[in-house]
Amino acid sequence: MVDAANINLAWTMLAAEECHRLGVRHAVICPGSRSAPLAVALARHEGMSVHVAHDERGAAFLALGIGKATGVPAILVMTSGTAVANALPAMVEARMTRTPILVFAADRPPELRACGANQAIEQAHLLDGAARWSFDLPCPSTELPAEFVLSTIDEAFARATGSAGTQGGAVHLNWQFREPLAPDTKPWDIGWLWSIARWTRDAARAPWRMTMPPLPQPVEVDEALLVVGRTDARATHSLKNWRGTLLADITSSLACAGTAGADLVLRAAFDGTGNEALRRALQAKSLAVVGDALLSKRLNAWIASQECGVTLFGGGDPRVDPAHRACGCYAGPVEFAALSALKPHAGWKRALACATKAAHRAIASERTLCEPTAIADATACCAEHAQGTIFYGSSMPIRDAEFFALHAPKGARGRVSNWTCAANRGASGIDGLIASATGHAVATAEPVLAFVGDVSTLHDLNSLQLAAQVTTPLVIVVLNNDGGAIFRYLPVAKHDDVFERCFTTPHGLSFTPIAKAFGLAVESPRTRAALSKAVARALRRGGTTVIEVRTLATTSEGVRSRAAAAASTALAREFS
């Protein structure tokens, strides 16, 4: 720090080093003038992996993906003005999923605020609704102690990671800078560093202050049926080989044979006339709902209909209780232990096995390449690889994977496969999905298979530039049905005068030439066999591959209907 060219760099170099000592390894930098002191300090830090993004919205989702993949915040650097507003969508998702991000936004000094100065807006508290904590830093000066800089970084990290006694999420530090913004020499008093001598001389490179997260609470389960969404690593690990019955949301990374398929079962039990014998067999004595919000509307409705007690784990802020049924909530981290009396729920165990077997057989028998068959075949290719991440788009891709229990395989030919699942389901937005998947790829340096719809791809085309920087396998399967097919399942579909023009919004575009323009490898398979070969090739080679699957929405709907009917028929025989 003694070689900092000016006081701006002295402050930002302290911040960069303290972030590194706390465990931060990734910085996403957007070009800008006012943010130059931050960009220079981070780019010159040997321990930081720097990712450059031209668009702040994509950059924010890249940082979000890194935070979701690692549990450690990435630093997002932006200049002043409207650049800051572009971080809001990713910060909303971060708050809803308790994902850590450190947003470092540069700002004008006080004398250039609220006076018509160029690129100056009211940004210090612009992101407060989504941020876990916001702090407006003063202009760098030796009149403020150096430990103020370090402790502010420590507090921001603790707030972002949830170690400060609250839930984690995005933190916004607003950095005011006067000239010089570039690393030009302007003398400053290096005696300013004397007050932090224990930090500068620390051979162990310890941070100025560590905030210890709350210890997980042990939770013993004797009869409860567990319903699990995306949750923290401790809880997930304790539930890996759960002896009781667990209903796993596709985002939980716990979905497998015996835990996935609840939506299929509940469709057979309640849709239409339903199956009364099946409904009785599924009743629970007590329910424990773990983690983030669940994808399945049917499962949420079933939880609300049960007469037993419902206890929430891992909630708090935001509240995860849409039916307002919970009788207790554990907001802190937990670890689960099964008591000796715990046994599988007989009805759910039979029903899950029956429904998923029938649905998988039905999908396997289909000859056409469409959305559900593409997800099934591409996912099966993951079995050849030890580990990676499957990222699901927020619209139909994740619904197909959840409904038909198209979870990551456990391995092929004796291999052990340990894939995790990821999605932006906190706010369920379709923006920033390519950037988020890219964040998982750069953070884990492992293969990522992403399923993204065509409208979602249109939302995030600029992030193909970020994907082009990835060196590990990133496979983006674009499911192109020419518009927002999900609206076909909503009541508005009956209104022909506005439905296509305002809701499905067909675009007629092909994404293969667009991906080529970004220098990405592309594939356009027409059959199921060709798709499997394309995904297998893409997972073996480095870099990003865009695989476009062109399909008709009506074809996918037919496959969904037949697979669901097969599951219902099998359950009717099983529970007659």
Given this model, what pLDDT does residue 544 score?
98
Q: Which residue has the tokens 């002191």?
A: 37
* Residue 413 pLDDT exceeds 70: no
Average pLDDT over every residue of 179-192: 96
Degrees to nearest 5, angle at CA 399 with 283 and 441: 120
In which band, very low, low, confident or very high, does the pLDDT at 182 lie, cut at 50, 70 and 90? Answer: very high
- Domain count for the chain, please give it: 3
pTM as predicted: 0.94
Residue 210 included in any domain: no
In which band, very low, low, confident or very high, does the pLDDT at 484 lie, cut at 50, 70 and 90? Answer: confident
Query: Can you read off the two tokens belonging to residue 334?
Result: 């937990």
Helix (H) or strand (E) holding 338: strand 334-338
Residue 206 included in any domain: no
3-state secondary structure of 168: coil
Query: Can you read off the two tokens belonging to residue 353?
Result: 């096995």
Query: Can you read off the two tokens belonging to residue 148?
Result: 């103020």
The Cβ of residue 242 has, within 10 Å, a number of other Cβ atoms equal to: 19
Residue 361 included in any domain: no
* Residue 538 pLDDT exceeds 90: yes
Among 220-224, 435-439, 510-514, the least confident range: 220-224
Q: Which of 351, 385, 416 is the last residue of a domain?
A: 351
Same domain, 340 and 376: no
In which band, very low, low, confident or very high, does the pLDDT at 242 lie, cut at 50, 70 and 90? Answer: very high
Q: Which residue has the tokens 């995904």?
A: 535
CB 183, CB 194: distance < 8 Å: no
C-alpha count within 13 angstroms, C-beta hemisphere, residue 348: 25
Average pLDDT over every residue of 409-422: 78
* Residue 403 pLDDT exceeds 70: yes
CB 407, CB 256: distance < 8 Å: yes
In DSSP terms, 103 is beta-bridged to: 76, 172
* Residue 414 pLDDT exceeds 70: no
CB 426, CB 292: distance < 8 Å: yes
Helical axes 262-270 vs 346-365, angle rounded to 10°: 100
Same domain, 417 and 340: no
Q: Which residue has the tokens 């037993």?
A: 308
pLDDT > 70 fraction of the chain, expressed in percent and rounded: 99
CB 457, CB 432: distance < 8 Å: no
Residue 560 included in any domain: no
Q: Residue 293 is part of a domain; what is its CATH number? A: 3.40.50.1220
Average pLDDT over every residue of 64-92: 97
Given this model, what pLDDT does residue 492 score?
82
Closest alpha carbon to 188 in 437, 2, 369: 2
Same domain, 160 and 300: no
Mean pLDDT of the chain: 94
First-last CA distance in the chain: 75
Cα dihedral 87/90/95/100 (nearest 10): -90
Among 46-50, 265-269, 458-462, 488-492, the least confident range: 488-492
Q: Which of 294, 319, 351 is the last residue of a domain?
A: 351
Closest alpha carbon to 258 in 296, 228, 294, 220: 228
Q: Residue 402 is part of a domain; what is its CATH number? A: 3.40.50.970
Q: How far apart are CA 150 and CA 295, in angstroms?
A: 40
Q: What is the domain extent for residue 329?
A: 217-351
Query: Can you read off the two tokens belonging to residue 408?
Result: 């990551």
Residue 60 included in any domain: yes
Same domain, 334 and 390: no
Same domain, 27 and 147: yes
Burial of 52 (0-12, 13-18, 19+ CB in 10 A): middle
Same domain, 184 and 305: no
The Cβ of residue 163 has, within 10 Å, a number of other Cβ atoms equal to: 18
pLDDT digits (tens, 9 = 90+) for 306-358: 999 899 998 778 888 888 888 888 888 889 999 988 999 999 999 999 999 99
Given this model, what pLDDT does residue 118 score?
87
Same domain, 298 and 195: no
Q: How far apart are CA 523 and CA 154, in angstroms?
A: 46
Given this model, what pLDDT does residue 331 score?
81
Residue 83 included in any domain: yes
Task: Decide the pairing of beta strands 474-480 and 74-78.
Answer: unpaired
pLDDT digits (tens, 9 = 90+) for 378-395: 999 999 999 999 999 998
The Cβ of residue 122 has, within 10 Å, a number of other Cβ atoms equal to: 9
Residue 207 included in any domain: no
Given this model, what pLDDT does residue 412 score?
64
Given this model, what pLDDT does residue 411 score?
72
Is the torsion defined by CA of 37, 43, 49, 51 positive or negative? positive
Q: How far apart are CA 77 and CA 59, in angstroms?
A: 9
Same domain, 39 and 145: yes
Among 47-56, 208-217, 249-258, 292-301, the least confident range: 208-217
Given this model, what pLDDT does residue 416 score?
65
Given this model, what pLDDT does residue 140 score?
98
* Residue 498 pLDDT exceeds 90: no
Specify the DSSP class assigned to residue 129: T
Helix (H) or strand (E) holding 458: helix 454-459
Q: How far apart are CA 32 and CA 11, in angstroms?
A: 18
In which band, very low, low, confident or very high, does the pLDDT at 557 lie, cut at 50, 70 and 90? Answer: very high
Given this model, what pLDDT does residue 205 score?
94
CA 220 to chain centre: 29
pLDDT digits (tens, 9 = 90+) for 263-276: 999 999 999 888 99
CB 439, CB 481: distance < 8 Å: no
Same domain, 88 and 160: yes
Same domain, 82 and 34: yes
**Residue 274 zone, left/alpha/beta (φ > 0; ψ -120 to 50; rest):** left
3-state SS of 272-295? CCCCHHHHHHCCCCCEEEECCCCC
Given this model, what pLDDT does residue 10 score?
97
CB 381, CB 347: distance < 8 Å: no
Residue 513 included in any domain: yes
* Residue 31 pLDDT exceeds 80: yes
* Residue 183 pLDDT exceeds 90: yes
Q: How far apart are CA 404 and CA 32, in angstroms?
A: 46
* Residue 22 pLDDT exceeds 80: yes
In DSSP terms, 422 is beta-bridged to: 391
Same domain, 140 and 36: yes
pLDDT digits (tens, 9 = 90+) for 107-145: 999 998 989 888 889 999 999 999 999 999 999 999 999
Closest alpha carbon to 461 in 513, 532, 420: 513
Same domain, 387 and 480: yes
